[in-house]
């Protein structure tokens, strides 16, 4: 496995791969790799001849007062893990190479970014779509892999690729969880043992929602209130948002129909965690209780 930190070197490597006819898969990450990231990498390896994993804690997607400085970083450990997953290149550029002096170009995807984390973290998705566009231009992958864990991000990237005719296939990979249900996240290391236990309300509340929908509940607000009840029963949990939207345009729905996304953001102390559930609901599945 090769470690590349220069943008020009990355472009040259990718160009050579394309010249010899290799397909390239890209897995964008912020590093501090865990099994969720590794699942994306293995999926990429199954589908592409060469796999590039980018590791870049992108300052542009962090707001003032967020955890840009504290975000965990360990390139040595990440390199070993990526190597074991069959990755060909880790691309870990420096901030000044990605955003040199005078940098002025940004990519913004409207509407799909109106709600959820788009509303809770102003400027966040502008940072994400800008860096992902740059990574796409640098690597020019055939396929890029993103986790369902960041459901709104995935919907926004799909929209961007379609709207801007980027010609890159986007593969979404299901959420990887701990045995007890907590979705894996690099930010889980921030949690104290008490907060780690409390964080189980995320997956528990989604499980409750799933049960309600299976019983025929189709009214979004009622499901939302039940989720809120489960989360609020945990004293260490502070809700940022609980929302039910359609999974493509990420707009609030009143009744569950088609592919719906139930998305949560909850704080435990200083740590903000997200989780979600995608449900395909046919109109006949739900009825008024």
CA distance 196 to 177: 13
| 148 labelled binding-site residue | yes
Considering the complex, state which of residue 18 and residue 126 has its C-beta at the smaller distance from ligand AMP.
126
- Please give the biggest Cα pair distance in the chain: 60
109 in contact with ligand AMP (CB under 6 A): no
The only residue of 7, 25, 36, 38 in contact with ligand AMP, by rule CB under 6 A: 36
Supply 172's token pair. 């979404």
CA distance 200 to 187: 14
- Closest approach of Cβ 243 to ligand AMP, in Å? 18
Helix (H) or strand (E) holding 262: strand 258-268
164 closest CA partner among 108, 125, 215: 108
| 185 labelled binding-site residue | yes
Binding-site string for ligand AMP from residue 158 to residue 177, where x marks contact by CB under 6 A and - marks none:
---------------x-xx-
At residue 139, φ and ψ (nearest 5 deg) are: -90, -30
The only residue of 7, 24, 25, 37 in contact with ligand AMP, by rule CB under 6 A: 37
273 in contact with ligand AMP (CB under 6 A): no
Kindly provide the residue ranges of all beta strands, DSSP E only, lying in 109-236, ordered along the sequence.
Answer: 143-147, 169-173
Site size for ligand AMP, by CB under 6 A?
16
- Closest approach of Cβ 108 to ligand AMP, in Å? 19
| 132 labelled binding-site residue | no
- 14 in helix, strand or coil? helix
37 tagged catalytic: yes
Beta bridge partners of 262: 244, 277
| 279 labelled binding-site residue | no
Residues labelled as active-site residues: 37
Residues at the contact surface with ligand AMP, assessed by CB under 6 A: 29-30, 36-37, 40, 146-147, 149-150, 173, 175-176, 183-186
């Amino acid at each position: 496995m090769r470690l590349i930190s220069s943008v020009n070197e990355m472009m040259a490597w990718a160009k050579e791969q394309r010249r010899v006819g290799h397909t390239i898969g890209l897995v964008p990450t912020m590093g501090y790799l865990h099994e969720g990231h590794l699942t994306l990498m293995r999926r990429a390896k199954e589908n592409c001849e060469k796999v590039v994993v980018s590791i870049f804690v992108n300052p542009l997607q962090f707001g003032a007062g967020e955890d840009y400085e504290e975000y965990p970083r360990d390139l040595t450990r990440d390199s070993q893990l990526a190597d074991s997953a069959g990755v060909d290149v880790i691309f870990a550029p420096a901030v000044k190479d990605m955003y040199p002096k005078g940098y002025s170009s940004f990519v913004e995807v409207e509407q799909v970014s109106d709600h959820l984390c788009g509303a809770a973290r102003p400027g966040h998705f502008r940072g994400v779509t800008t860096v992902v566009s740059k990574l796409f231009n640098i690597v020019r992958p055939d396929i890029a892999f993103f986790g369902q864990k960041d459901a709104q991000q995935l919907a926004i990237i799909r929209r961007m690729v379609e709207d801007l005719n980027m010609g890159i296939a986007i593969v979404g990979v299901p959420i990887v969880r701990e045995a007890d249900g907590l979705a894996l996240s690099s930010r889980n290391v921030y949690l104290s043992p008490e907060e780690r236990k409390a964080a189980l309300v995320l997956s528990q509340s989604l499980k409750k929602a799933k049960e309600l929908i299976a019983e025929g509940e189709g009214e979004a607000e009622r499901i939302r209130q039940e989720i809120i009840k489960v989360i609020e029963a945990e004293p260490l949990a502070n809700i940022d948002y609980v929302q039910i939207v359609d999974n493509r345009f990420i707009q609030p729905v009143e009744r569950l129909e088609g592919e719906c996304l139930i998305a949560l953001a909850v704080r435990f102390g200083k740590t903000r965690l997200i989780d979600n559930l995608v449900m395909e609901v046919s109109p006949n599945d739900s009825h008024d209780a």
